[in-house]
Amino acid sequence: MIYLDHAAATPVSAKVLEAMQPYFGVDFFNPSAAYLPAKKVAADYEKAKGVIAHAIGAKASDLIITAGATEANNLAFTAVYDYKSAGSDVSRHAPSRPSSRGSVATTCPQPVAHCLKTSDSCAHILYLTTEHDSVRQVAEGLGGIAINVLPNGLIDLKDLQAKITDDTQLISVSLVNNELGTIQPLAEIAEIVRTTKIDRMKRGIKTQLLLHSDASQALNLLDINVARLGVDLLTLNAAKVYGPKGVGALYVSHNARLRPLVVGGGQEKGLRSGTENVPGVIGFAKAVELAKEHLNGNRKKYALWRKSLLSELKDYELINKKHCLDNFVVVSFPGLDAERLIFLLEEKNVYVATGAACAASKGEKSHVLKAIGLSDLQIAGSLRLTLGETNTEEQIRDAARIINDVVSLEHRRINKNKD
Amino acid sequence: MIYLDHAAATPVSAKVLEAMQPYFGVDFFNPSAAYLPAKKVAADYEKAKGVIAHAIGAKASDLIITAGATEANNLAFTAVYDYKSAGSDVSRHAPSRPSSRGSVATTCPQPVAHCLKTSDSCAHILYLTTEHDSVRQVAEGLGGIAINVLPNGLIDLKDLQAKITDDTQLISVSLVNNELGTIQPLAEIAEIVRTTKIDRMKRGIKTQLLLHSDASQALNLLDINVARLGVDLLTLNAAKVYGPKGVGALYVSHNARLRPLVVGGGQEKGLRSGTENVPGVIGFAKAVELAKEHLNGNRKKYALWRKSLLSELKDYELINKKHCLDNFVVVSFPGLDAERLIFLLEEKNVYVATGAACAASKGEKSHVLKAIGLSDLQIAGSLRLTLGETNTEEQIRDAARIINDVVSLEHRRINKNKD
């Protein structure tokens, strides 16, 4: 099996699973329980959060653990709460209680559902048009405005600047696009945010301006530091970096005030109630540790493999030419049907994708490929190959050969039908 | 170690972990991906949902998988959406898209945060005063009204009937209380709901009336059937039945229309987006299967052990006398401090609780024990012992002896201080 869809899912690595094992059947205690073995589990959990946080230059107390990147993205948008129009609401809420562990929650104990204002007083949000559905749908739901991308997939910074108004509260731009692997210039965006804030301050405008970034795809190939990136909110995902499914995190800077999507026992500083998924977070931490350890080696390896693929593949158009993660290879075979190619490649044990798995499964045309200006023909013939830890150099060579075979067979079949 | 806190957390049983293993590193594919191995994972996931659903007399398509009972409880309350006052909102939403697998979603693609009305048009909700925080806080946030319990912990049905109005949309009563183990007469409550609905129909009142029940603690000791219970919404929890943490489910009848708390890729019929936690659900299904298999045996075993504990323990007051799960033993030692008892018992390797772990960790007095009318002295001296699969007959005998020793030492210490 040659698996070239690591952007859709990664296997839990053996070391991660090994780290998780004791927390299933032995150290299974509820971290909120009063006795020592439970407190030890709580401490291990916090330590694991610390490892994850450290990897992005943050502290354990800056992270809210969620059930994945989708929830983290949704949670990030609770920061755009219209303080002005809902002032009375805020004061009605009981003061937040101190959490059982760590610092005091800065939130109301009520779920966001009952706090966020509806569309008649929409927050002003900007989001990159190529964002994943978990950002796009929330942003659209809040009346957000899309920022354009350039044909190379990078954010159109001029469009961003033109669309920022004095009301803009949140800008959401993923660090790495999930279909193209495009690495967005977060630091440049942060600089625009910074100057906007200074300008607002000078003019006495008190509206917050936060920068959120979904870094789900980035953690194992980019050296991420929240201060260097200049983000206020950052989404992380265990399942994309050889950690377990069902675990993610949201980094929250001191500038951002969130509201819970889910209330109850008050875990995660009251922002995300529910018994902690201890094995999940332990596994996440191990995955992050391994990712950091192999960061440079993996980048070099994937860069070589990418180069090798691009030199061996035939009759293709390269879609993600520059500014992308080394393990993303997006190629189009205009005139061919990518869905058919996936099927034919699968018969030869090569597994590739057309775009985001969740979007592809709905039979939708990629909004990302549309946004960078590809023609329908180009989109219909596009494959996303994402390299990863399950691959070997030999597999990459074999994959190129098999793809070439399938593509040339398809061309012959089509030409035959034309005759 | 004698662990008597199975209501707070259960270890993942060996067979459950074994069932989960292949889905971490081998069958790790994204269920939404287009190729066959991913479709096989998607099928296994649906099959597992079917096993869980079957155990409560439902179908896979009736379940929404969540990250746990807390999220499921929160999701249940999205059913109380004020259709009347928000009519225009509903029509504004794009029609729901067909899901990749299974039936068409009956929801709007926007998160509940942007749909639910705020307090000026509160839905009329009733909830049992002894509910877990994950129900209580949501219900309170929506302006819900608490239903009293009798001193035996059972719902005060007269109070319920008195508080139902023509506006009541949702009644939430847990099947088993998490501090006392009290089994509520759901079928009787459902009968009241049924007659109320008939009466409303006759009078042309179209307001919905739904019955929600949190069955987190019940799945491994009660034979649950949603039709027999007469519930529209039922919360399940893997972590309380020897399954993994971070997985739960909400049963949703055809009467109930929910809204997502989290939007994105459209998984779980659009009601709970995010890549599916496949190993978690596989483990949940295995746990449910085992629970069903050993249901009768376990009940008999725990009933014997409970009896044995109650006959061997000394100087206690039994709090949960009747109508409770066989594995819940709640006793009070009035005049003693339960916090100290926990600490002293821990030194002798016996692990017990004072109440819900998440409430206890905040140093709050149990709202449940208050609600059944215990005095402060009784509450301060209350221990919750919850028996489970980690226990043996010998352990139960030892536990009784150790508790007796500790209690009598404490009495002596206090009496000495008095002298």
State the ipTM, two decimals: 0.91
Strand partners, B296: none
Tell me the average pLDDT across B205-211.
95
Do B134 and A278 lie within an 8 Å CB cutoff? Answer: no
Residue labelled with tokens 């809040």: A142
Q: Using the predicted structure, report yes or no on whether residue A259 has a pLDDT greater than 80.
A: yes
Distance set, CA B316 to CA B306, B372, B404 (Å)? 14, 17, 9
Cβ contacts of B78 on chain A, cutoff 8 Å: 113
Residue A194 CB: number of other CB atoms within 10 A? 13
Tens digit of each residue's pLDDT (9 = 90 or more) over A22-76: 999 999 999 999 999 999 999 999 999 999 999 999 999 999 999 999 999 999 9
Contacts of A43 (CB under 8 A, 6+ apart): none
DSSP annotation of A373 reads: T
Whether B391 and chain A come into contact, CB under 8 Å, resolves to: no
Position B108: which residue type? C
Tens digit of each residue's pLDDT (9 = 90 or more) over A183-192: 999 999 999 9
Tens digit of each residue's pLDDT (9 = 90 or more) over B25-64: 999 999 999 999 999 999 999 999 999 999 999 999 999 9
The pLDDT assigned to A81 comes to 64
Cβ contacts of B114 on chain A, cutoff 8 Å: 116, 118-119, 141-142
* pLDDT tier, B115 (very low <50, low <70, confident <90, very high otherwise): very low
- CA B100 vs. chain centroid, Å, equals 29
d(CA A253, CA A232): 5
DSSP annotation of A104 reads: B
Residue labelled with tokens 């070439």: A404
The pLDDT assigned to A105 comes to 30
Do B70 and A358 lie within an 8 Å CB cutoff? Answer: no
Q: Which residue spans within B260-359 are E strands per DSSP?
A: 317-318, 328-332, 350-351
Three-state DSSP class for residue A383:
strand
> What's the number of CA atoms in the CB half-sphere (13 Å) around residue A132?
34
Q: Tell me the two tokens of residue B279.
A: 């190993």
Contacts of the segment A104-107: beta carbons below 8 A, 24+ positions apart: A104/A269, A105/A266, A105/A269, A105/A270, A105/A271, A106/A257, A106/A269, A107/A257, A107/A258, A107/A259, A107/A260, A107/A269, A107/A270, A107/A271
Shortest CA gap B343–chain A (Å): 7
% chain A with pLDDT above 90: 84
Position B310: which residue type? L
Do B25 and A11 lie within an 8 Å CB cutoff? Answer: yes
Tens digit of each residue's pLDDT (9 = 90 or more) over B226-284: 999 999 999 999 999 999 999 999 999 999 999 999 999 999 999 999 999 999 999 99
What residues of chain B, 235 to 294, have a C-beta less than 8 Å from chain A?
239, 244-247, 261-267, 273-280
Strand partners, A214: A235
Q: Is A143 left (phi over 0), alpha (psi -120 to 50) or beta?
A: left
* pLDDT tier, B365 (very low <50, low <70, confident <90, very high otherwise): confident
What residues of chain A, 157 to 186, have a C-beta less than 8 Å from chain B?
none
Distance set, CA B386 to CA B9, B138, B320, B383, B403 (Å)? 10, 27, 12, 10, 14
Do A32 and B1 lie within an 8 Å CB cutoff? Answer: no
